[in-house]
Structure 1
Amino acid sequence: MKPTVLAALVVLAVIGVVDWPTEAVDFADRLAPPSSAHPLGTDQLGRDVLARVLGGVRYSLGLGLLALAVAVAVGTASGLASGWWPRHPLARGTQALVDVLVALPALLVGLVVAAVLGSGLTAALFAIVATGWAPFARQAHRLTVAVRGEDWVLAATALGAGPARVLGHHVLPAVASPLLASVAARFAGTVLTLAGLSFLGLGVQPPTPEWGAMLAEGRTYVFVAPWLVVAPAAALVASTVALGWIAQTRRTCCATR
């Protein structure tokens, strides 16, 4: 990974842990345009938009990373199990479910799950995990099937290693690199899904400074104070483009090894 990318990730991590004054209200300074005091202006309650955009890193990227981590864990575990025992009825059922979920748009499935569970952070995270685990399960299944017949796997089995040890100590390290190569690309999709759910009122709720929720709040004032929409939209676009570039860099590095 290039030093500039690593530096950018460190900066984002620092931004995410700082306690920004996102809820400081000043009714005397409502809908103020960008100025030296407020570089990105203020919102309808007089809150500093820059502080809220920076505070949104913790929610838009932090919660997205949390949901992605759970999705990766669930998908990898189910893919390893179904790839090791491909003829088991449960494995076949899992792969059939994966085929259905992969064929459907993630946001559509997320909308259905969030609508059933209700709005809120927990429902949004569950919806993202419910849609995000399937691609990792399919990839882990395919990779496990490909390596389960390799000599080193057969040797470990012949020496008496149980399935859990073979999968954890031999198969998982072999399939981890291709799985990690797709995490950054999925991360961008996860951030967009979370923002979409929040924008539609099914995800993170105001006044939490999540970028999708900020877009939903700011659209009412788009002609009066366009910075309320431009600022979170720019942060969302910049982060997803950067994550896509990181994913492409990761794929290139894996391909050249």
Structure 2
Amino acid sequence: MNRLAKVGLIIIFALVIAALFAPWIATHDVGATDLSARYLPPSSAHYFGTDATGRDIFSRVIYGARISLRVGVTVVIISATVGTIVGAIAGYYGGWVDRFIAGYLFNVFLAFPGLLLAIAMVAFLGAGLNKLILALSIIGWVGYARVMRAQVLKVRELEFVQAARALGASDLYILWRHILPNAIQPLIVQASLGMAGAILSEASLSFLGLGVPPPAPSWGVMLEEARDLATLQTAPHALIFPGAAVALSVLAFNFVGDGLRERLDPRRHVDR
């Protein structure tokens, strides 16, 4: 695994630690306000300074990791599960099943930009963490389904699959025992990149007021609360730290995804 992937793993490990041990790492109550301490600069009392209502930004960034990782992990699990099932069915059975799923169903979801479709879904479902997760899962499964379909189309023609079919194995057995284990590697890469996409989408929708409602310590909410020009000029730390948290998280999962793609690429081993 390359150096950037190792750096990404270190950042992800730090995020997981922050999310798991947030009550012990946070130095202040994330909801405690103190108007006399508005926009204090970073100091030993407030490592990242304070926001417009005197809340400690460091503590809110730490707790924000919980929201981001919860959204990312849940969306990836739901999307990967649904996408794997749908993609495997389309690739294995082919024919009219594949034409309907790949030719029509995929194109319906791919006809709109992902973020625009997410905004429409959240606007329809309403704001809230669980509704945000549902909306991102509804639009996220297509990527996993396309990857799985492409893999199944290749694996189903291999000799061991044909032999299992000739011996009378059921379709479910063949898919579970022979095809999925040999088609799962690209999904691992897709899941890592999907985590980055889910974290970025949550921050974007929360910034637009369509995600996690305030005063939840979401990184997107923190950016939205500090986005005016006056804040940027007088208290840039209110934007810099939550923005850096989003950027580092997305970069970390992208680095790991690229490293996994390079590691799991069969052509890399053939060249050696």
Work out whether the TM-score is over 0.5: yes
Q: Give the structure 1 partner of residue 120 of structure 2.
A: 112
1:102 offset after TM fit, Å?
Answer: 2.9
Structure 1, unmatched stretches of 5+, are: none
Alignment of 1:81-160 (within 5 A): 81-89=89-97, 91-95=98-102, 96-160=104-168
Q: Give the structure 1 partner of residue 213 of structure 2.
A: 205
Q: Give the structure 1 partner of residue 76 of structure 2.
A: 68
CA distance in 2, matches of 1:184, 1:154: 32
CA distance in 1, matches of 2:10, 2:234: 37
How many pairs were matched up?
Answer: 256
1:6 offset after TM fit, Å?
Answer: 4.1
For residue 14 of structure 1, the aligned residue among 11, 14, 17 is 17
Question: What fraction of aligned residue pairs are identical, expressed as a percent?
Answer: 36
Q: Give the structure 1 partner of residue 254 of structure 2.
A: 244
8 A contact 2:203–2:219 mirrored in 1: yes
Question: What amino acid maps onto 2:254 in structure 1?
Answer: G
Q: Give the structure 2 partner of residue 185 of structure 1.
A: 193
CA distance in 1, matches of 2:125, 2:13: 35
CA distance in 2, matches of 1:161, 1:17: 44
Give the secondary structure class of the aligned counterpart of 1:219: coil
CA distance in 2, matches of 1:195, 1:94: 31
Q: Which moved more, 1:23-32 or 1:128-137?
A: 23-32
Compute the RMSD of aligned alpha carbons: 1.8
CA distance in 1, matches of 2:9, 2:40: 35
1:167 offset after TM fit, Å?
Answer: 0.7
Q: Give the structure 1 partner of residue 34 of structure 2.
A: 26
CA distance in 2, matches of 1:31, 1:148: 60
1:57 and 2:60 aligned? no
1:226 and 2:236 aligned? yes
Q: Give the structure 1 partner of residue 48 of structure 2.
A: 40
1:5 offset after TM fit, Å?
Answer: 4.7
Higher relative contact order (CA 8 A, sep 6+): 2
8 A contact 1:153–1:171 mirrored in 2: yes
Alignment of 1:162-181 (within 5 A): 162-181=170-189
1:75 offset after TM fit, Å?
Answer: 0.6
Q: CA deviation digits over 1:43-64, x for unaligned, max 9? A: 1221110111111111112212
Q: Which moved more, 1:144-153 or 1:91-100?
A: 91-100
1:12 offset after TM fit, Å?
Answer: 1.9
